Structure 1
């Protein structure tokens, strides 16, 4: 394993650097310390061709203008918070309404839009950030670390760790858009997805969970056996139509660290297996990717990438029956997700 360090630009006199993790198999993961953003993941296909399998840019300026949270760590709370406010111990906290009437992915300047400290390690890089009390409306001084490591089993691991001095909310995730075709040769409509989940969350007209867990059986949300993403895109199920024809839904995982999420591209033969200790995964099929702009020369477009965001349920603070996202001052936050890249056996 080696880590290649390069300059990636500056923001307000802060240096932004890129870190490329390379294992003995030639697999590469590149990230920058602006938003802990994953800019590139290079893995082989069934013919041994090494290509990038995430949406990304080559310049810092493109990331500064990016509206899609591309490859970034989002928080303090990933997903939406209804009405841009919440109550904690009798006190109401007001957040930015940066998604209609609601708060999204940590606010106007969430974790995705700040420069993190970075430390190169033996198998990767550790990013650190201090979020002061009141930042983006959240209570508590929060110290958070995000560690990226890569091993020779082609396993890329993200470990999140945090502590606060005052009760706050926290559930962070990575917002990488995967496309296993390689170098964005095709969109992801023919990717096949499997999730060990019997329930997904119903959304209202503002994409906020209603609080109702819906049985996936006999719906386009049944990924308990392999399902092509296109079936949801073409579906007339009200929940698929609601989010722009596709998926933007939280799924409750029924198992952890047990091959619970598997994404495949049949043409390239690439397989991505995701294991996590999180309660759920938000599946977002890139329904809102616009036709303007490009990703390293490939024109942007709907369904060009798919996000698999391992996290607690969005808007959990307003739904006591959801797994809690409250972090107290005597608790340590820890979350781990492993992304294993392989080739489908013929």
Structure 2
């Protein structure tokens, strides 16, 4: 499965384009043209073009499963990077926006005890970082595994914002859990580089989506679902009132269950604007004709529902009859904008992929809340401020925002996400499974089961099947034969056995590969038995009792061995744990992951010991979220048929 071509992304740089440098009135700047670079990421009949201007998605080309195998571009905007540049891109098509996405009231804010005024470019407000923000700049670009990384240095005072900040936007195109889907991951980061007391950062991605490509009905036939129980009401200038509105009390704005945008916009026009149903039918049937009272529609921030246990929470799903786009993110909000102003002013028509009209697309912008820059919220009682804009300081200089766009084409793709538990319960999705778990007792139940059922022998730590230990260790040795294990600066090789139990793998494998080994185990009872089990070589080992979900390695390791233990961690903790381990690898060091997998469903939850057996695609998804890459995969041979299949995966940092 891992070696098949449909899991490999090809990254191809296209012909660069030079455009005039019109960023200032300086004559010298015009003599140095800007080179805009574009890259094509291709996987599973899906191609994504990303460009250095605005670190944007220029095209998102998807092959439909119809008889014609037609290809549609699901992002709206301009035909070329030249057109984006020359048009000034007033609608913010394609781009990453910031420094601060969305609106800042009157362009004024306070941060670090200082007051700032940034350019006003949206009525009385500042929008998306100003007219020369991140979306209107050319970023540096470099190819990475599965994708492209863009970087931009923004100097102190850029668009009125304080602090010198390094911005990064990394795109990776990867397989989803299904046989046909893809996931485009975007990691937006910022790093404060100077001693500025404080600066706000709230990046967002601003693609306009239409899953049908060209469509006479725009997005009206699309269905939208948003995982939110509240939204932030706005005033006439689009600024949040700093209150939260429950969707129980405002059904017009409610997308907790899938609803067509035609129905949503119809109800919005009737109940929020005061139009008659006949008026709205005219607005929808003739979208070229201006609305006398001005454009209307949804342009609101939704408060994303918390989803404990999930590595990257599902935020929203946009779907049409043949495609679905599910968005995952770690931000507290998502702005839903139904492109109400497209075509309203006749601006920048030249160079667009087509002549756009109102409601031809929808933006789904994961973000922190609009107009929420505030250093101290201790005296602010509204829950609105839980979604406040991040503030970077010299003590906390980093910003991170993950968003993933999962595109599925097959009508049966949902099966790849379904699973069950050992009591016979069926789950339609991974999210539904985690929603059903009592996470407050998840780890305690596993620990109690282990203490009650696992004695301090090989047979005990292997759950009564200790007879497989020799074959298991033999397979592990064969897997490691061709791995080049690095040394530290003193010429020593270090290993770590995670979930070590009594040190079975340390004794039978790791001490043959390295000079020193650390053992990490949450059960003090098992760990105390480890030195006796290891025997005379125990002096080469160090023993640490830690809960895995909390453990932070301090040593740099040549190889970290993780076997039959991550099944006890939630998805969120798996990703964070692997990421922490990745940070503590020596250069070219390895993480070896060896876990049971299920083959006919995405997961099986063991109710008794609070563990989860995952499918290979499920594991690969979690691994990719942690920033690690699979360099080698091999199956354990000669285990009894009644035991789950066991792959061995060798992981390294990207």
Alignment TM-score, normalising by the size of structure 1:
0.93
Which residue is equivalent to 2:58?
Answer: 39
**Distance of 2:294 and 2:260 partners within structure 1:** 18
**Distance of 2:404 and 2:121 partners within structure 1:** 30
Which residue is equivalent to 2:38?
Answer: 18
- Preserved contact between residue 76 and residue 106 of structure 1 (Cα < 8 Å): yes
Secondary structure of 1:31's aligned partner: strand
**Distance of 1:14 and 1:258 partners within structure 2:** 38
**Distance of 2:350 and 2:218 partners within structure 1:** 13
Query: What does 1:69-148 align with in structure 2 at a 5 Å threshold?
Result: 69-148=92-171
- Preserved contact between residue 228 and residue 305 of structure 2 (Cα < 8 Å): yes
Which residue is equivalent to 1:201?
Answer: 232
The 10-residue stretch of structure 1 (5-14 or 283-292) with the greater mean CA deviation from structure 2: 5-14
Q: For the structure 1 residues 294 and 11, does the alpha-carbon distance in structure 2 shift closer, same or farther, using more than 3 Å as the test? A: closer
Which residue is equivalent to 2:372?
Answer: 316
Q: For the structure 1 residues 303 and 295, does the alpha-carbon distance in structure 2 shift closer, same or farther, using more than 3 Å as the test? A: farther
- Preserved contact between residue 271 and residue 341 of structure 1 (Cα < 8 Å): yes
Deviations 1:207-244 (A, max 9, x none): 01111111112522111111111223212232798993
1:237 maps to 2:284: no
Shift of residue 160, structure 1, vs aligned partner: 1.0
Greater helix content: 2
Deviations 1:77-113 (A, max 9, x none): 0000001111113211110011111111001200001
- Preserved contact between residue 327 and residue 403 of structure 2 (Cα < 8 Å): yes
What is the alpha-carbon root mean square deviation over aligned residues? 2.1
Q: For the structure 1 residues 181 and 295, does the alpha-carbon distance in structure 2 shift closer, same or farther, using more than 3 Å as the test? A: farther
Say which one has the larger Rg. Answer: 2
Q: For the structure 1 residues 109 and 199, does the alpha-carbon distance in structure 2 shift closer, same or farther, using more than 3 Å as the test? A: same
Secondary structure of 1:211's aligned partner: coil
- Preserved contact between residue 98 and residue 107 of structure 1 (Cα < 8 Å): yes
The 10-residue stretch of structure 1 (100-109 or 214-223) with the greater mean CA deviation from structure 2: 214-223
Secondary structure of 1:255's aligned partner: coil
**Residue segments in structure 1 that go unaligned for 5+ positions in a row:** none
1:9 maps to 2:18: yes
The 10-residue stretch of structure 1 (240-249 or 2-11) with the greater mean CA deviation from structure 2: 240-249
Shift of residue 249, structure 1, vs aligned partner: 0.3
Secondary structure of 2:175's aligned partner: coil
- Preserved contact between residue 163 and residue 329 of structure 1 (Cα < 8 Å): no
Deviations 1:8-39 (A, max 9, x none): 3324212001111111x121111110101211
**Distance of 1:53 and 1:169 partners within structure 2:** 32
**Residue segments in structure 2 that go unaligned for 5+ positions in a row:** 1-8, 22-32, 177-181, 276-292, 413-654
**Distance of 1:168 and 1:81 partners within structure 2:** 14
Q: How many residues align?
A: 343
Q: For the structure 1 residues 297 and 38, does the alpha-carbon distance in structure 2 shift closer, same or farther, using more than 3 Å as the test? A: closer
Q: For the structure 1 residues 297 and 123, does the alpha-carbon distance in structure 2 shift closer, same or farther, using more than 3 Å as the test? A: closer
Which residue is equivalent to 2:356?
Answer: 300
- Preserved contact between residue 84 and residue 102 of structure 1 (Cα < 8 Å): yes
Higher relative contact order (CA 8 A, sep 6+): 1
The 10-residue stretch of structure 1 (323-332 or 30-39) with the greater mean CA deviation from structure 2: 323-332
Which residue is equivalent to 2:300?
Answer: 249
**Distance of 1:77 and 1:338 partners within structure 2:** 20
1:225 maps to 2:265: no
Shift of residue 185, structure 1, vs aligned partner: 5.5
Shift of residue 324, structure 1, vs aligned partner: 2.8
Q: For the structure 1 residues 297 and 101, does the alpha-carbon distance in structure 2 shift closer, same or farther, using more than 3 Å as the test? A: closer
Secondary structure of 2:253's aligned partner: coil
**Distance of 1:238 and 1:58 partners within structure 2:** 35
**Distance of 1:87 and 1:263 partners within structure 2:** 37
1:261 maps to 2:316: yes
Which residue is equivalent to 1:329?
Answer: 394
- Preserved contact between residue 80 and residue 351 of structure 2 (Cα < 8 Å): no
